[in-house]
Amino acid sequence: MTIPSTCTYGVYLAYYLTSKEFPEATSLDYAFIGSLNFSVAMAIAPPATVLTRKFGKRPVMITGVFAQAGGFVAASFAKRIWQLYLSQGALIGLGIGLMFIPSTAVLSQWFEKKRSLAQGIASAGSGIGGLIFGFATQPMITNISLGWALRITGIVVFVTNMVAVLLIRDRNAIVRPPQLGFAIYLLRRYDVLLLLSWGFVVMLGYMTLLYSLSDFALSIGLSRSQASSLTAFLNLGTLVGRPVIGLASDRFGRIDLAAWLTLACGLSIFCIWIPSVTYGPLVFFSLVSGAILGTFWMTIAPLSAEVAGLREVPSLLSLAWTTIILPVTFAEVIALNLRRPNASRPYLYPQIFAGLAYWVAAGFLFELRRVKRRKPSGDTL
């Protein structure tokens, strides 16, 4: 529930951009608030990694549970835009980081041959949560108010995340990962730099697509319910697609498949999203892209093990989270600046921007694939 509740910010963004809830706010304010969910989460990766090494993952993650739920509840009482920055932006981002960062490396410790399949099944859980929130958020806003939509979301994520945190188990006592907050020595490796470059560029496309889709739907004349349902269909694609992709990744190669899926997501933007002007094609695009647009989140841990070895996964992940701070912060801001509100196709430039980002990112993975084929894998204990 860390990511799915955040992915539905696109529904809130569409509502904020077309309402007078915060009269002093601009579209860039709302873009930055959503970006803070991810950027703050990634910015605290180094201290979260160090705290996890010192105190264990459970105390850190429980703190995150309270922070994320508290952010939603606090946002429900916000009257000024700066209050929304602190609550729905920074506090939720803090909670996500404290839960997500310590937990990401756990699955890779328990699986070797089926590592990507396990990650795909786990990632599909975000599709379930996102599907529920995607269909429920707009009706809650419409029928019981924005404030109560935020409060109910806060209560739900508190309960589900607390159960998950209490059940999680790791193998740190056996694997003994160094868990360094900023492993500079890894930056001397070309393959590591390629992996981090992929993450940096692909996030520009990911954030643009994720947060722009609902408002794009409104811009072409669809209703609020149709616009919000696209987010739900996006998560339905995640639910169905990620386990399949995980299985295929273990069979055909993790780097290979991640590269082709990144390329395919860019292709879907140019071939499906840009030409779409009605609800049906957008539903199809949401289902297709939902399965593949979040390839980074699904594969970054298995790819880190593939590139640097299992012991270095937490340290390399910490570098990966730090690397994507800038793109997750500014991608939607760039997209909204590229948007032309009075044009016949307001989102054409943001769509092109997202598609090109995916294609450039794919290039880094294809180069990584070439490099790894020339030397033995680092996937060892």
* pLDDT tens sequence across 236-267: 887 777 777 777 777 778 899 899 999 999 99
Confidence at 381, pLDDT banded by 50, 70, 90: very low
**What sections of the chain are H helices per DSSP?**
4-7, 9-17, 27-43, 45-55, 57-75, 81-84, 92-104, 106-110, 115-144, 146-167, 172-175, 190-219, 224-252, 254-268, 279-292, 295-308, 313-323, 325-338, 348-372
Residue 291 has pLDDT above 90, yes or no: no
Chain mean pLDDT for the chain: 84
pLDDT at residue 1, rounded to an integer: 47
Higher pLDDT pick, 17 / 275: 275
Residue 378 has pLDDT above 50, yes or no: no
pLDDT at residue 103, rounded to an integer: 80
Higher pLDDT pick, 225 / 366: 366
Residue 221 has pLDDT above 70, yes or no: yes
Residue 123 has pLDDT above 50, yes or no: yes
**Nearest-angstrom CA–CA distance, 80 and 372:** 51
pLDDT at residue 18, rounded to an integer: 82
Q: Which domains does the chain have, with CATH numbers?
A: 1-170 (1.20.1250.20), 182-373 (1.20.1250.20)
Measure the CA angle with vertex 306, ends 302 and 310; round to 5°: 80
Confidence at 114, pLDDT banded by 50, 70, 90: low
Average pLDDT over residues 176-196: 78
